[in-house]
Amino acid sequence: MQPTPPPDPLDSLLDQWGRGAPSSPGPLAPEVWRRIARMEEPVKRTFWEMVHGAFARPSFAAAFVAACVLLGLFLAEARRSRLQSEYNRELMQSYLRLIDPLLESADRTSSTVETGAKS
């Protein structure tokens, strides 16, 4: 069995302090409760106040700017890819137009050579 520690002298003082009801300060208490009730009422904020409140936080503002930059880079890359695709298609078509007359003339000469050899 362990010995009990000696009683703390503050225990009796704290017990006396906790037993007595606090004295009413008079008209101050109703005013305090009125202020507390007023602060607990939900505040109706407009859309622009909410937007301003969100952008007032530096972390949100920085994240928004980073998202806008990334979106801009993505859209620029998508546009660049589309332009490159159109350029490649035009280049392929011009190459085929350039080669096609050569292929037609090669087909004509080969067909005349074959017909000449048969006769």
Distance CA 89, CA 81 (A): 12
Give the chain's mean pLDDT. Answer: 81
pLDDT at 107: 57
**pTM listed for this prediction:** 0.43
User: Of the segments 82-91, 99-108, 110-119, which one has the largest average pLDDT value?
Assistant: 82-91
> Is residue 30 situated within a structural domain?
no
Q: How many domains does the chain have?
A: 1
> Is residue 4 situated within a structural domain?
no
> Is residue 23 situated within a structural domain?
no
Which residues form the domain of 102? Answer: 36-113
> Is residue 61 situated within a structural domain?
yes
> Is residue 25 situated within a structural domain?
no
Q: Which pLDDT band holds residue 69 (cuts at 50, 70, 90)? A: very high
Within 10 Å of residue 19's Cβ, how many Cβ atoms?
7
Is the per-residue pLDDT at 56 higher than 80?
yes
Place of tokens 């085929």: 96
> Is residue 16 situated within a structural domain?
no
